[in-house]
Chain A
Amino acid sequence: MNIIMVGGGKKILFLTKSFISKGYNVTVINNDKQFCNKLAKRYNAKIVNGDGTKLYILEDAGIAATDMVLALTPKDQDNLVTCQLASKLFGVKKTLALVNDPRNVEVFDKLGVNTTISTSGIISSLIEQKVFVDQITNLIPLEEGKVAVIELEIHEDYPVVNKSLKEIDIPPQAIISCIVRNGNPIIPGGETKIISKDKVVILTLPEIQSEVLKAIAGRVD
């Protein structure tokens, strides 16, 4: 598979290394000559020094024969243009843009860039949730943070201990999808009881997350 990446910094170094080890053909476009030299010395990748929003640079990078374009610069407008040129002008099937301003995810979607990653959005929501809710042992945001999977351990003083799922009053937009008891996963039904030291995996919308936690833990820290 041929992959073009536009951008710089640690993530490009890391991704280049990772993609090469998977056997992909990697081309990196970056407008900093020093960075390009460094990259060229370190990895067996094709490096193009220039502006990744210019047609001739993209052509130099061999965009016509590429399968995937990843736009990872810190400027949203540049990432947008790179992806639009790649998909609309060169017919690249898969394009991915890094979105620095989380509110631009929707904008990119409406302008035809369908795969976006909002690092600041994901990281800030992760930090927020980890900082404020210490009962949560694990948390995975899905669909740009529109859905969250949270895992939490049941302490003996929680009001849900020894109750069956149908007795627990959690909002309808959340579901207890799995219980891990002594390391064994159980897909629970309405009659399944929750006991102390269980780990429960809950699928929920982030906006009602605190309600869900309140129903299960009895309090929100």
Chain B
Amino acid sequence: MKKRKAKDEYIIIVGCGRLGSHIANIFSKKKKSIVVIDKKEEAFRRLGVDFSGFTIEADATEEDVLLEAKIDKADIVITVTDDDNTNIMVAQIAKKIFNVPKVIARIFDVKMKEFYEELDISILSPTILSANKFIDIVEQEAKEKL
């Protein structure tokens, strides 16, 4: 595979909610090539005025849509819709069918995270992330009191 500069990385973001749009805006400022997919057009309003990527209004569980987004050329696919199962399905399609090098999915259900992590997909669980942070803070304060 042709090695590209980090700046030229091609990123597909599925789901343009609060998290998806936030990630898209940040990567856009870092001058990366980005395509954002969401099934609702209104969702794209969350993207900043200076957002330089492309948007596709469609259901990402349809293979045609992913091909339109040129998933076969993507370096990173991030799935952050509000539906765990959509994230899981799109992430698996990206990894297993299109061999995307890096695939990251957000999954709310903690038990599902364990199961799907075996499939070579990086999984972020907001519940676990915030729980860990809370515990860190609590333990930190407990230590300081000692």
Contact surface of A with B, Cβ cutoff 8 Å: 53-55, 75-78, 80-81, 85, 88-89, 101, 103-104, 106-107, 110-111
Q: What are the residues of chain B within 8 A of A111 when measuring CB–CB?
A: 92-93, 96-97
Q: What are the residues of chain A within 8 A of B4 when measuring CB–CB?
A: none
Alpha-carbon separation in the docked complex, A111 to B120 (Å) = 13
Q: Are A77 and B86 in contact (CB under 8 A)?
A: yes
Q: By DSSP majority rule, is chain B's interface helix, strand, loop, or mixed?
A: helix
Alpha-carbon separation in the docked complex, A85 to B86 (Å) = 15
Q: Are B61 and A110 in contact (CB under 8 A)?
A: no
Q: Are A101 and B61 in contact (CB under 8 A)?
A: yes
Q: What are the residues of chain A within 8 A of B92 when measuring CB–CB?
A: 80, 111
Q: Is B88 an interface residue (CB 8 A)?
A: yes
CB distance from A74 to the nearest CB of B (A): 12
Given A76-B61, A110-B96, the answer on whether A89 and B115 have CB atoms closer than 8 Å is: yes
Q: Are B85 and A53 in contact (CB under 8 A)?
A: yes
Count of inter-chain pairs, beta carbons less than 8 A: 48
CB distance from B1 to the nearest CB of A (A): 21
Q: Mind listing 8 A-B residue pairs with CB under 8 Å?
A: A55-B112, A77-B88, A77-B90, A80-B88, A80-B92, A81-B88, A101-B62, A104-B62
Q: What are the residues of chain B within 8 A of A88 when measuring CB–CB?
A: 115
Q: What are the residues of chain A within 8 A of B30 when measuring CB–CB?
A: none
Q: Is B57 an interface residue (CB 8 A)?
A: no
Considering the complex, give the chain A residue whose CB is closest to the CB of B81: A77
Q: Are B85 and A104 in contact (CB under 8 A)?
A: no
Interface residue count for B (Cβ, 8 Å)?
19
Q: Are B89 and A81 in contact (CB under 8 A)?
A: yes
Alpha-carbon separation in the docked complex, A55 to B96 (Å) = 23
Q: Are A77 and B63 in contact (CB under 8 A)?
A: no
Q: Are B111 and A103 in contact (CB under 8 A)?
A: no
With beta carbons under 8 angstroms apart, the residue of A85, A89, A104 that contacts B61 is A104
Q: Are B64 and A107 in contact (CB under 8 A)?
A: no
Q: Are B61 and A77 in contact (CB under 8 A)?
A: yes
With beta carbons under 8 angstroms apart, the residue of B85, B93, B112, B115 that contacts A107 is B93
CB distance from A34 to the nearest CB of B (A): 23
Considering the complex, give the chain B residue whose CB is closest to the CB of A101: B62
CB distance from B125 to the nearest CB of A (A): 14
Q: Is B117 an interface residue (CB 8 A)?
A: no
Alpha-carbon separation in the docked complex, A88 to B112 (Å) = 12
With beta carbons under 8 angstroms apart, the residue of A80, A89, A101, A110 that contacts B85 is A80
Given A54-B109, A55-B112, A110-B96, the answer on whether A77 and B64 have CB atoms closer than 8 Å is: no
Alpha-carbon separation in the docked complex, A104 to B61 (Å) = 8
Considering the complex, give the chain B residue whose CB is closest to the CB of A89: B115
Considering the complex, give the chain A residue whose CB is closest to the CB of B66: A107
Alpha-carbon separation in the docked complex, A164 to B89 (Å) = 53
With beta carbons under 8 angstroms apart, the residue of A103, A106, A110 that contacts B64 is A103
With beta carbons under 8 angstroms apart, the residue of A75, A80, A107 that contacts B63 is A107
Q: Are A110 and B97 in contact (CB under 8 A)?
A: yes
Q: Is B41 an interface residue (CB 8 A)?
A: no
Given A76-B61, A107-B63, A110-B97, the answer on whether A55 and B89 have CB atoms closer than 8 Å is: no
Alpha-carbon separation in the docked complex, A103 to B109 (Å) = 28
Q: Are A103 and B63 in contact (CB under 8 A)?
A: yes
Q: What are the residues of chain B within 8 A of A85 when measuring CB–CB?
A: 115
With beta carbons under 8 angstroms apart, the residue of A54, A77, A89, A107 that contacts B83 is A77
